[in-house]
Structure 1
C-alpha cells in the first residue's frame, strides 16, 4: 500500500479478513529480508512515524531529515503497445535506468529510485523479446 523513496515497501496484513480496522501494518526492508510490524491502523502508523513517536528500524537514519511529503497516486494512463523496448547490447542486461526511461515513454508510472514494479519489468521483457 506504500513505498518509501528508499525502497521499503509497506503492506497491510489483512487478517482478520473484512475487518480493516484490525489489520496490521508491515514494512519490508529495502533490498533486504527484514520485516517490521506495527499493530495499529494506517493513520496511527503514519502519525506515530512522522511525528517521531515510533521508529521503524528498517528505515534509514535520514528518514525524516527532509521532512514528510506525500506524492498522491493518479490513475496510470493506458500503456502504449510494448513493441519498442530498447535492446541492450549482446551479452549485457539492461540497466534499470534504461527500463525506467522506456517505461515512462510508454505511459507507466515508475519510481525514480525504488524497485521497479514487477508488472513494468514483465512488460519490458515482453517488449524486448519480441
Structure 2
C-alpha cells in the first residue's frame, strides 16, 4: 500500500525538518490564540493518540465503528506542550506514537483497510480513507511548522 510507504518516509523526513528549526522559533507564539510550532507538533501527537485508537478499534471490530472528534484546543491546553516539553522530547514522542501506528497498519489486512467507520457527520468511510486523511492532516500541519 503506497500510503504506508509514504507514511514511513514521513517518519524519517519530518524529524529532519523539525530539527533544522531553531528552538526560539519553534517555541514562538505570534499571538495568545495561535499555536506555536511546538504546540502544532503537540497537536500531531494528540492526533496520533486518537487515530491509533480509531485504527485499532476498526481493525478489531467487524461492525462499523463510530468515530468521535476530540477537543483539540483543550488537549493542547491540558498537555501544556509549550511549557512541559522540550522540542527533542516532543519529537521523540511524535516518532514513537507514529511508529506504533505504522506497526498496526503494517499488520492490517486488505480486508481491514476496507472496513468501515462512521464519522461524527454520519458519513461512512473506510480505514484506508481514514488513514489517508490522517496523512493529509499531518502534512497540512507540517507545512505550518515549516513556514
Q: Is the TM value for this pair above 0.5?
A: no
Q: RCO higher in 1 or 2 (8 Å CA, sep ≥ 6)?
A: 2
Tell which structure's C-alpha radius of gyration is larger: 1
- Shorter-chain TM-score category? under 0.3
Larger helix share, 1 or 2: 2
Larger strand share, 1 or 2: 1
